[in-house]
Amino acid sequence: MTPETIEGPGIRLRPFHLTDAPATATACADPLTQRFLPALPSPYTEADARLWITEGAPGVWATGGAAYAITDRATDQLLGSVGLHDVIPGRQEAAIGYWVAPWARGRGVATAATRTLAERAFTTGTIRLELLTTAENAASQRVALAAGFRHEGVRRSASPRRGGQGRDDLLAWARLANDPPGPTPRLLPDLPDGRVTDGVVELRALGPQHAAQMHDLNTRPEVVASRVPPEPPTRADTERHCREARSRWLCDKAANMVILDATSGATAGTCTLVLDHPPFRQAMIGYSLLPDWRGRGFATRTIRLLTAWGFNEVRLERIWAGTHSGNVASERVLERAGFRREGRTRGGLPSVGNARADCTLYGLLSSDLAPPPGTC
């Protein structure tokens, strides 16, 4: 590619100018930019910006990559940057990356710039583009999906942390030149209006703000006994689980939700729908409640809301659940929610030590909830 100007929807991609240095410095010193781009100098100064514009960006172009400023088409205001790196001409592939200035976030700038540069790259001989994100950067993963990239897997320990304090995994997203245009379809859609509710119970996406309550819940002995494996998580494990919950959702793995009292907003517990067999339109569910909310019908309401969302929005055909054999309370909840007992798997669940416990299986079909013929 050559450093030419490219017009996109509401944006323009052009080479950096020295007049972009003040805005570049402000954007790259932003805490969120620093958090997800640990290779940036910290603190980031205007001198760093000038060095990037006069030496860094030209160096990217010289090695076969691309380094564009994203600007507003009407005002030429700097909105961010997008570029190509790790170019492998022999394989006709490259990686794409971007950052967006704080004053331009939430306006679709990253998606527009990523689509625009990807389409230009494909017209100049590139066959495959890869985009890498951290597991907790859900906003960047949404950009990848909106720009037509598909989740392919995990690059373990691919990103060094700032200051050499360990390494992080990166999620790999890719788009091919012959992939269909438009956003990548999702198997697990967002909740309508961000929630589902029956007026008593409300389900919302699990997030980092729920870590303290989730740790309290998942370290209680009666909950640990039904965990797989039956071991209490560390506080760090719980915090990471909550930070990465939205990533698992966007990667079509699991929809982790928090159970709330619809009136007060108090947290009552957690529930999950795991998309364990997409080709068969099948998922597994699980739930846990804090002690103050048990015995009040919250579990049954939760399962009904979760399965209704699974059948109506995810378009599942079968939802199943497994309980430790003898967990009568959980069995009653599933039966009240319409599930049928289907059998038992011997040693289906890990237990304490090297032992294993039997698992009682319950299933619910979408047709189980359909009205009888001739009714409305």
Mean pLDDT by 10 residues, the chain (376 residues): 91 98 98 93 96 97 96 97 96 97 97 97 96 95 98 94 86 97 95 96 97 94 80 93 97 98 96 94 95 94 97 97 89 96 90 83 91 52
pLDDT the model gives residue 199? 97
Residues 6+ apart with CB under 8 A from 280: 317, 318
Query: Which residue's structure tokens are 């029956």?
Result: 198
Chain-centre distance for alpha carbon 159: 18
Q: Residue 148: which region, alpha, beta or left (left: phi > 0; alpha: psi -120 to 50)?
A: left
Given a contact cutoff of 8 angstroms between Cβ atoms, the answer to whether 154 and 173 are in contact is no
Closest CA relative to residue 264, chosen from 193, 196, 190, 199 = 199
pLDDT the model gives residue 371? 60
In our burial notation (b when 16+ CB lie closer than 10 A, e otherwise), range 300-336 reads: bbbbbbbbebbbeebebebbbbbbbbebeebbebbee
pLDDT the model gives residue 9? 96
Query: CA-CA distance, 306 to 286, in Å (whole number)?
Result: 10
**Dmax over Cα atoms in the chain, in whole Å?**
75
pLDDT the model gives residue 376? 45
Query: Which residue's structure tokens are 């793995």?
Result: 253
pLDDT the model gives residue 109? 98
Given a contact cutoff of 8 angstroms between Cβ atoms, the answer to whether 126 and 172 are in contact is no
Given a contact cutoff of 8 angstroms between Cβ atoms, the answer to whether 76 and 19 are in contact is no
pLDDT the model gives residue 373? 53
Q: What is the pTM of this model?
A: 0.91
- Which CA distances in Å does 83 have to 65, 66, 208, 244? 7, 5, 30, 26
Closest CA relative to residue 100, chosen from 67, 143, 70 = 70
CB neighbourhood size of 62 (10 A): 8
